[in-house]
Structure 1
Amino acid sequence: MAKIEIASFNRRAALIAEENGADRIEFCAGMEVGGTTPDTDDVIALRKELDIDLNVMIRPRGGDFVYSAEEFEQMKRALIRLKEQHVDGFVFGILNRDNTINMDQNKELIALASPLPCTFHRAFDDVTDIDAALEDVISCGFTTILTSGCEPDVMMGLTNLKHLVHRAEGRIVIMPGGGLRSTNVDRVLRETAAVYFHSSAITDGGNTAVAQEVKELKEKVS
């Protein structure tokens, strides 16, 4: 049975997701830029309200995934601060200017997060060599890669997603996300054999998960 992670941009979305069968929350701010580090007070409040796993994004801004020394220090401080709030994992990803994996910076954040698991987020979709990037992310110590298969959405990336799941050979979880909905998750599951799926479950143009969509996502992967 596969599992569902719901990207939540506010506490209400996270609670709706939990109530309707989500297995894990990816909590972040900055929906308009694909997610940024959420406010600490929001994380503290949500941790008290939520029973399922809570992963938190560490991303100082939207845009590319190459960070200045100052931005990297900001990421480290945020991770240390949020780790104290008893979250269950972190979500981040740092690239070099040539869109390869920044091994040193990612490893440093993973060491700070230890023993909590870390997901390499959709920065992965900017890489040019997916096989080399996969091996580098595994070497860094990540437990999961969130990806649309290096294409604009999961349907366009199906071939690459299938390839990544096969190539990973169980060494890391490949989690399809990006345009994933209840209308296509069954096909993505069938064609990729992935075990974890990621969606915002937003189907009404808003910024909060829709209860029925979460239910249908869960039903179709169960």
Structure 2
Amino acid sequence: MTLVEICVDDVAGARVAEECGADRIELCADLLEGGITPSYGMVTAALGATSRVGVQLLIRPRGGDFVYSPDEVRVMLADIRLFAGLPRVGFVLSGLTASGVVDASTLAILVEACGEAPVTFSRAFDEVADQFAALDTLASLGVSRVLTGGGPGTADSGRDRLRALVAHGGVTVLAGGSVRSPNVASLVAHTGVPEVHLRAMRPVGGRDRTSGDEIRAVVDAVGAR
């Protein structure tokens, strides 16, 4: 059975994700900027509103690129230490060098601060030219999984690369990038990915909200495999 992770930016979304059968959420703030670290209040409220799902916290001090200054690394370390030890919590990290490879030295410091909590490397991975070498680097650093569409586009367009990354091994591949209920079953069948990631948003009342119907449809589609 394929695990389903839902990206949410509010407490209501976390609650809906759990109620509708998701296995895990990624909790972020400011998704219009591509996602940044959620507040402590948001994290504790989301944990209080759920009881079962894993909660992966995005640790990212700003939008834009993934090349971090020493000051930004200190900010991320402070955030990780604030959240470390909370129940069901893991972390979503990133970090690239100016030449576009995984910033192993920065990531090693961040992963160490996470302790025993599971770590996902974000879709910054899809900006790396040699993804297979990057996968080996992440494995050596103790990263649990990588969120990827197999490249900068959708998971559908990167399905052949996703299949090759799964075959390469070392780190769990979490497929993301326009994953939806109509395409998720064929994507999983083609690639063999053990986990999928999506936002599952629908416009309601003038803003995008997490759709329970879409989550159920995705869970049903992958659960039938």
Q: TM-score range by the shorter chain?
A: over 0.9
Alpha carbons 1:5, 1:197 under 8 Å: kept: yes
Q: TM-score, normalised by structure 2?
A: 0.95
Amino acid at match of 2:167: H
Cα distance between partner residues in 2 of 1:111 and 1:127: 23
Higher relative contact order, chain-length normalized (CA < 8 Å, sep 6+): 1
Partner of 1:42: 42
Q: CA deviation at 1:39?
A: 0.8
Structure 1 unmatched runs, 5+: none
Partner of 2:130: 129
Equivalent residue of 1:4, what SS? strand
Cα distance between partner residues in 2 of 1:117 and 1:54: 10
Alpha carbons 1:31, 1:207 under 8 Å: kept: no
Structure 2 unmatched runs, 5+: none
Alpha carbons 2:175, 2:196 under 8 Å: kept: yes
Cα distance between partner residues in 2 of 1:72 and 1:62: 14
1:201 partnered with 2:200: yes
Amino acid at match of 2:79: A
Partner of 1:8: 8
Aligned residues: 220
Cα distance between partner residues in 1 of 2:31 and 2:136: 29
Q: TM-score, normalised by structure 1?
A: 0.96
Cα distance between partner residues in 2 of 1:207 and 1:141: 35
Partner of 1:22: 22
Amino acid at match of 1:184: N
The two structures, once aligned, show a CA RMSD in angstroms of 1.2
Equivalent residue of 1:65, what SS? coil
Q: CA deviation at 1:185?
A: 0.5
Partner of 2:160: 159
Partner of 2:147: 146
Partner of 2:172: 173
